[in-house]
Structure 1
Amino acid sequence: PEVINGKGYTFASDIYSIAILMWEISSGYSPFIDYKHDDYNLAMDIINGMRPEIMSDIPLEYKSLMVQCWDANPLKRPNIKFLQDEVKKIHLSYQNMPNEFFQSKAMNNFEIKTSTNYISSRLFTSKVHQFENLPEPKNATEEEQEAFHSKTYDFSIPDNSRRLIKHQK
């Protein structure tokens, strides 16, 4: 968030990026892929503490670490050494679990992801934006996160959809 505010890249902003990668790994999706607003509104939502919705089936330790890493305050994010140590602890704690546990979870995730036909209407590319007069980044409350993730989006069905359905029969 501080990079959006023009404060430049730091080790703390790298930790935020690692949190976003952690989210991508745990969800299998790109963050904010279904976000239909312009770049300015997305930037404002991120500055106001919006983060991707956390999957319910990820380990609590992983979730906690990810949330620490994407804190709006860069001074509250862990340093890379702490992050490395925590990832090692998580890894070691799961090494002693039976393979069946992971295989069943992996198969569930595979089935969910392959059965979801999600097509983004946007082509995402990395680009640097410069916005003026943005507020300081903050963390969103749970209520604000819930409101963000439960927004409804307008989807339009083309007028000729009935013709398409009849034609397929």
Structure 2
Amino acid sequence: MGLCGEVDNIDETKIYGVMPYMAPEVLRGNPYTQAADIYSFGMIMYFVATGKQPFGNRAHDYDLALDICKGANPEISEPEAPSNYIDLMKKCWDLDKNNRPDVFEVNKLITSFHELYGEDFFIVENEEIEIQFKKAEEYRKANLSSTENYQIVTHPQAIYTSRLLNPITKDLPKNNDDYNSQSLDYCALPISFK
């Protein structure tokens, strides 16, 4: 299961972690599951592919937590990673935990990526995937030299250490259906012109 939490904490109502790596259902107060770990693994895949922390340009506050619970994810494009890698990553981020791959499916796909990328394991029938990985590696190398000349600016309220998130997440709706009811109908508000 997840590695987020206070070592001596046995209170399952306390939510500890790094917000961008937390699954939406965990932010809403549901227990950690393997599906939540798969979501976090998808964020690790993002970091590996881009070298950037997810949501590094935003404050890690209630608004980000709400956006994550609504399905917001970091942007990534095909030059940064092969399409198969991006597809797996996005499956890991699925808002519905039941639609995320399980650990066996992730392992199978990552193993196939590794086998295709390693020169000892060239498989002709998956040549397209190998080409995608090589193009992504060329893109990364070409952009590595340009990124060395500037420092990635992280939002001052982006926090990448594990912390207690309950004060931030306590007012989040407890399930997906509650998000639509949270929007305010401005047309229904009484207006008084005096």
* TM-score for both structures, normalised by structure 2: 0.62
Q: Please name the residue that 1:52 is paired with.
A: 74
Whole-angstrom CA distance in 1 between matches of 2:151 and 2:116:
34
Q: 1:21 aligns with which of 44, 47, 57?
A: 44
* TM-score for both structures, normalised by structure 1: 0.71
Which runs of 5 or more residues in structure 2 are unaligned? 1-23, 123-129, 178-194
When residues 135 and 116 of structure 1 are mapped into structure 2, their CA distance, relative to the original with a 3 A threshold, is farther
Q: Please name the residue that 1:76 is paired with.
A: 99
Q: How many residues align?
A: 137
The letter of the residue matching 1:53 is E
Structure 1 runs, 4 residues or longer, greater than 4 Å off? 100-103
When residues 107 and 6 of structure 1 are mapped into structure 2, their CA distance, relative to the original with a 3 A threshold, is same
Whole-angstrom CA distance in 2 between matches of 1:52 and 1:13:
17
When residues 106 and 136 of structure 1 are mapped into structure 2, their CA distance, relative to the original with a 3 A threshold, is same
For residues 69-122 of structure 1, the C-alpha deviation after alignment (integer angstroms, 9 at most, x for no partner) is 110111111110110000111222223359x86764342131232133223223
Could you tell me the percent identity over the aligned residues? 29
Pair 1:128 & 2:152 matched: no
Whole-angstrom CA distance in 2 between matches of 1:101 and 1:132:
44
SS in 2 for 1:85: helix
Which runs of 5 or more residues in structure 1 are unaligned? 139-169
Deviates further, 69-78 or 116-125: 116-125
Deviates further, 103-112 or 65-74: 103-112
SS in 1 for 2:54: coil
When residues 72 and 30 of structure 1 are mapped into structure 2, their CA distance, relative to the original with a 3 A threshold, is same
Q: 1:34 aligns with which of 44, 54, 57?
A: 57
Q: 2:112 aligns with which of 89, 113, 118?
A: 89
Q: Is the 8 A contact 2:58 2:158 kept in 1?
A: no
